[in-house]
Amino acid sequence: MVFKNRLLKGENALTKEINLTPRELQYIAALSDATELLGVSDAFFGMEDEEILQEAQKLQISLETKGYAEMDFDGGFTLKDEARETVDICANCDVFIVADKNKAEEPQHREQYYIKEGRIIRIIEKSGVYLLTAMSSTDEMLENIIGDIEWMPEDASPLQSIHIKSKVLSDVKSKPDIFDQAGGVSGLIASGCNEPSAKAIAAGLSRKAHYYSVVAIVCEGDQNGVYSAMLIDTDSGIYKLTPVINDGEELVRFDPLTISGAKSVMADVILSVFPRISEGFE
């Protein structure tokens, strides 16, 4: 699939990967007057003011040791532009994008993207450390989010579009024999699913399917908005999941997709936010 490339104006401050602990990241963000950092838990939660001040002194030394800051003999502390400007993009972003790519029965893999004035920073958490990397374009971001997904082989089984009550899905998920004809699959078939669809949905409910989601949040001024897509990829095919409410009742709509269609759905969520922040792009 070919995406329209959108080049960044100027250059990202980040010229190499930056590795920061949660507290280092949030300390630098606080120096940019940020009150929160989207997608990052509060690493100072529960600490008293005196404890935070003592920790800040340790963080200054740590950041200097890593080469991200300088300290003089009088105790003055100065962040280097690379670290300061990179974290500022994350702390004061115009758009925040979260991509979850979870293989069946494997630990969650999450990537977070922060966009400000046409510059993009990706954050990945690994073993308690945040890795911050600059993206050169939206194409690179899309390739990172979508391009490396290993989709299941497409199946000829006819998955159907169907609405299922959330209560039914909860009941099916609770069954230990979810894949048995007398268990969860039969409950889905009783709700109107054909057998391939029932097996695909059961796989998603029991984490036997691959799960992919992307959420894009516009944070700029009065243009706030949230765009999202959730997909499950199974032996029987790919489903897009959409929560809906009908006559006060919660349901989930399941729409079958091809691999090409799944890529387009995810890309559309990401690209839909860019007309709202277009002044940062050419």
Q: Examine residue 134 and state whether it is found in any structural domain, yes or no.
A: yes
Q: Examine residue 258 and state whether it is found in any structural domain, yes or no.
A: yes
pLDDT digits (tens, 9 = 90+) for 6-17: 434 444 545 568
Q: What is the pTM of this model?
A: 0.86
Residue 85 and residue 38 in one domain:
yes
Q: What are the structure tokens assigned to 257, written together? A: 């997709």
Total number of domains constituting the chain: 2
- DSSP structure class, residue 16: S
Query: What residue type is 162 in one-letter code?
Result: I
pLDDT digits (tens, 9 = 90+) for 163-218: 999 999 998 888 776 665 556 788 899 899 998 999 899 989 888 899 999 999 99
Give the neighbor-by-neighbor strand order of the sheet with 18-20.
18-20, 129-135, 119-126, 110-116, 95-102, 210-218, 225-234, 237-246, 249-257, 162-165
Residue 143 and residue 34 in one domain:
yes
State the residue range of the domain holding 121.
18-147
Residue 90 and residue 34 in one domain:
yes
E strands, the chain, where? 18-20, 69-71, 77-79, 95-102, 110-116, 119-126, 129-135, 162-165, 210-218, 225-234, 237-246, 249-257
Residue 168 and residue 223 in one domain:
yes
Q: Please state, in angstroms and rounded to a whole number, the distance separating the CA atoms of residues 7 and 47.
A: 42
Identify the domain boundary among 88, 120, 147. Answer: 147
Q: Mean pLDDT across the stretch 77-100? A: 92
Residue 201 and residue 169 in one domain:
yes
pLDDT digits (tens, 9 = 90+) for 33-75: 877 889 988 778 888 888 888 898 899 999 999 999 988 877 7
Residue 226 and residue 258 in one domain:
yes
For position 83, what pLDDT does the model report? 92
Residue 73 and residue 133 in one domain:
yes
Q: Examine residue 12 and state whether it is found in any structural domain, yes or no.
A: no
Identify the domain boundary among 147, 179, 203. Answer: 147
Q: Which residues pair with 111 in a beta bridge?
A: 99
Does the structure show a pLDDT above 90 at 228?
yes
For position 221, what pLDDT does the model report? 62
Does the structure show a pLDDT above 70 at 249?
yes
Identify the domain boundary among 123, 147, 171. Answer: 147
Residue 22 and residue 143 in one domain:
yes
